[in-house]
Structure 1
Amino acid sequence: MGKDRRSSVRVGDILDDSQLCHIIKKCIGDGSWQLVSAELRPAAAEGIAGFLGDHFRLTVRIKLDGRLVIIRLFVKSLPLNNAPKAEFIDEHHFNKKEVSIFKLLDEMDILVEDANPFVANALLYNESILVMRDLTPEGYSTTNQLQTFDLPHVLVTLASVARFHAAFANHETKKSLALQRPYSIVEEHPHINVESNFKDTPWIHSGAKLSANIINTFSNKYNTIPDLETKFLKQFLEACDELAEHKETLNVVLHKDLWVNNIMFKYENGVPINSILVDFQCVRYGPPAFDVTFFIYNTTSRSFREQYEGTYLKHYFNIFTEFLDVHTKSRLKVLGYDFEDFLRWIEYSKRFAGLGGIMLGPYVLMDPGTAQVTFDDPATFEKLTNEDRSEPVLAHARRCAEYKRRLVDINEEFVERYVRP
């Protein structure tokens, strides 16, 4: 395995002195302090995987009132050693979307001290860099990329998703009342509703090619279907069109990238007691059901979904309703948005959710070290993104039985539900 190019990145490559000073003051207040050291190391070496940026842990040591204080931070930056990826991120406004979310969260004033927060505060954010407190010392961690969630993990995550959705629904209601007219977040942040990948793009076409190759190579059920790539592509493009702002129902800001590495858990006696949602580069605007199903299809097995769907959907909706203010509840009543309507949107959103699992699975189910070598090479980035990623994915599937099983299962389910009929 090649050396991680990020290991040569230094603090000064991504943060200037004024930015570092700003971060320290956000952490300690206005006291007098002296910088002792600032150490940066790649987070990928610790199992932190991420596609849309470089990830680091930053340890800052300062002297404060005669004592040594250690500040532990998590940093995400534009790739410094992969120009094609940096251009890809910039072109599609991924970081601009995340900046908008933190601006909105600041405006909503919900990032206050909370024993069970559902999102983490940002100490510094712009379109090049995001700096947050490292949540690991506070007891938060992610799960292994191949581990499917059990019911406690699903319920605690959906509680945070519900609070996330309710916060934006309440914000739009508050703004509508102040303006005395219907208000939508996309009025001020239109790029939130711009889709970068899930539309008729080379990325989707190459995904259809890969899905056909996965089925034809590994499936014992559906490897005789003719013209499978074309059939996958037709369903993929139709599914892409389904995630949109729908005027006749409730729309909220959607995370739209809820897989294991974007959800951090805190445990008590081995049981998850809270989850924090991170990474808002892929947000969209649409019916809440799309977030729920996207999360479920990326983190659970088909047998789990069939056994517990009624339980986790009711749990989500109850918490969502609990965190709505009275004016938003009245607005939803006018829209006719109740539990039954939510369930109808759940069924409507499942094809897009299946597509999300299919498209992201080859990346996010691969162990971080292999994923870095496979997908983060500037020489092959564009080819694997826009032409054909089958060779490295199939090769890894042959080496890792669980990776293969997860990819085959999600693709076979999609064939059964949408392609074969």
Structure 2
Amino acid sequence: MSQVPVATTTEMTESLSDSYSLITKELISKCLVSHKGETVEIISWDVRNFVRPGDNYACTVTSIFVKFRDTKSGRDDEVSYVLKINPRRASKGFNDIIEDQLEKEGRFYLEISPGLNKTMHDIGLPDVQVPKTHFVHLEVGKEVLFMEDLRQRDFLMSDRKKGLDKPHCLLVVKELARLHAASFLLKKKSEGDLLTLYPFMVDGIFGVITKTYKPFTGSLEGMVAGAAQVARNVGGYDGVVRYIETKLQPQYMDIVIQKMELKPPFVVYNAGDCWTNNILFRYGDDGSPVEALLLDLQLARICSPAADLNFFFYSSLDGDMRQENLGEFLSTYYSTFQKVLQAASQDMPFSFDEFEKEYHDFKVFGFFVGFFLLPAALGEGHVQYFLLEEDTKAAWERVTKNNAEGIVRLSRENPTAAARLISIFDEMTASGFTIQ
């Protein structure tokens, strides 16, 4: 399997006014040669934006259409790519996070994805469903990832404002299980632990925040505070309010990082940011979903499979879908993981009962995800995740306050948002996450 080439030097102009100026003929040419061969040359290219408001929160995402000529055959042709680009915003702290994320995602495609897919091929199974990547440029501050245009394979994004239904959920659960199982087999084949093989995969977004960008926690804290206020306004959730305000709100980062500690045998590659906007689906002739593909692996990390599952279930499902089908979702995940290992003549590293317990042990992480991704899924400008200005204490205090108010306002304006929050409060009560 050919390796994706990495650009190590560039001759880009020194004056870069915005992220689109990072799309240069030089990089496009390198991508084109990597994808189509040494005999091609660019005729022309243009940028075509296709991202809708709310589809993307961190990086700049766009597409380019490239007309090219094969000098050997004399034939002209066209190809399109989706680009993920450093947004080059004013906030240095934000840029530190983005640079870390883009490096991680680029290296996932360069170093990990080929190994995962070879592992699957060796046992007669199809690739793990992530985008093909044709060129990765990782110069700090000027990162650009050139990926396949999945629209050409009829993949579509689901409506983020609608909770996924059961057929969509089952496809995602199966694909997460295949990703996790492939990483387990890769570790076995390499005769080493995953962190030794790929140490850059240890820190997820929360680890990076605590190391480089602590003010960002104010954005998340505001959303957790807003969830507590919603519970207070609804009434009947006094114990939940006390738990959120005395445990989750002041300690959520410590809780999350503690949950991400590696505890064998629950050590696999996680997609890390598995919610509706980061999943594409392909549909059959009858309109039913037949395939799921995982996008945006910038938050990928090594940790428990329960992290990915809780992230997905609490970010992308309405409460009744999660509660009524959880048993089937978990059993489907386990059986899919098991089938991959059986194809490799390997035993499961954990029993179903152990796996189910691990999932429930991670539910506090799921609750937190449900709070902070709610406005991304269902809102329109109700909260601010990142500063688009210079970092100041006053600016972050304003964001914290506004985000708390934004969650409350969203719950009043959107019945689906209110219902999702109430379903989490009910699960917190049933699972003992209360203080009386």
Tell me the TM-score range normalised by the shorter chain. Answer: 0.7 to 0.9
8 Å contact from structure 1 (residues 146, 403) kept in 2: no
Q: Secondary structure at the match of 1:124?
A: strand
Q: Secondary structure at the match of 1:258?
A: coil
Structure 2 stretches of 5 or more lacking a match?
1-16
- The one-character-per-residue Cα deviations of 1:41-69 (angstroms, maximum 9, x if unpaired) are 2x43x356222311112222234455553
8 Å contact from structure 2 (residues 184, 268) kept in 1: yes
Moved more, 317-326 or 235-244: 235-244
1:136 to 130, 146, 151: 151
User: Following TM superposition, by how much is the alpha carbon of 1:321 offset from its aligned partner in structure 2, in angstroms?
Assistant: 1.4
The residue aligned with 1:162 is: 177
Q: 1:280 to 1:386 in 2, by over 3 A?
A: farther
Q: 1:85 to 1:289 in 2, by over 3 A?
A: same
8 Å contact from structure 1 (residues 205, 233) kept in 2: yes
1:206 to 222, 228, 235: 222
- The one-character-per-residue Cα deviations of 1:364-415 (angstroms, maximum 9, x if unpaired) are 3324xx37x9546613886279733223443444443333433444355435
User: Following TM superposition, by how much is the alpha carbon of 1:242 offset from its aligned partner in structure 2, in angstroms?
Assistant: 4.4
- 2:138 is the counterpart of 1:122: no
Q: What pairs with 1:41-190 in structure 2 (closer than 5 Å)?
A: 41=49, 43-44=50-51, 46-47=52-53, 49-64=55-70, 68-84=76-92, 86-90=94-98, 93-102=100-109, 103-110=111-118, 118-127=129-138, 128-176=143-191, 183-190=192-199
The residue aligned with 2:40 is: 32
The residue aligned with 1:5 is: none
2:202 to 178, 183, 193: 193
User: Following TM superposition, by how much is the alpha carbon of 1:172 offset from its aligned partner in structure 2, in angstroms?
Assistant: 0.5
TM-score (normalised: structure 2): 0.79
Matched positions, count? 396
Q: What pairs with 1:19-418 in structure 2 (closer than 5 Å)?
A: 19-41=27-49, 43-44=50-51, 46-47=52-53, 49-64=55-70, 68-84=76-92, 86-90=94-98, 93-102=100-109, 103-110=111-118, 118-127=129-138, 128-176=143-191, 183-197=192-206, 202-203=217-218, 204-217=220-233, 219-222=234-237, 225=241, 229-233=245-249, 236-237=252-253, 239-268=255-284, 269-324=286-341, 329-330=346-347, 332=348, 335=349, 337-367=350-380, 370=381, 374-375=384-385, 378-379=388-389, 383=396, 387-388=400-401, 389-411=403-425, 413-414=427-428, 417=431, 418=433
- The one-character-per-residue Cα deviations of 1:277-310 (angstroms, maximum 9, x if unpaired) are 0111112222222212221122212222222122
CA distance in 1, matches of 2:156, 2:53: 11
TM-score (normalised: structure 1): 0.82
CA distance in 1, matches of 2:53, 2:24: 27
Q: 1:402 to 1:88 in 2, by over 3 A?
A: farther
Q: Secondary structure at the match of 2:372?
A: helix
Moved more, 380-389 or 98-107: 380-389
Moved more, 70-79 or 400-409: 400-409
Percent identity, aligned pairs only?
19
8 Å contact from structure 1 (residues 263, 275) kept in 2: yes
User: Following TM superposition, by how much is the alpha carbon of 1:212 offset from its aligned partner in structure 2, in angstroms?
Assistant: 2.0
CA distance in 1, matches of 2:127, 2:343: 23
CA distance in 2, matches of 1:40, 1:142: 18
1:342 counterpart letter in structure 2? F
CA distance in 2, matches of 1:315, 1:406: 24
- The one-character-per-residue Cα deviations of 1:324-366 (angstroms, maximum 9, x if unpaired) are 2676724x4xx5x122221121221222122222222223332
2:55 counterpart letter in structure 1? A
Q: 1:50 to 1:10 in 2, by over 3 A?
A: closer
CA distance in 1, matches of 2:26, 2:342: 40
The residue aligned with 2:10 is: none
- The one-character-per-residue Cα deviations of 1:128-187 (angstroms, maximum 9, x if unpaired) are 1222111112110111112111111011111111111111111100110xxxxxx11211
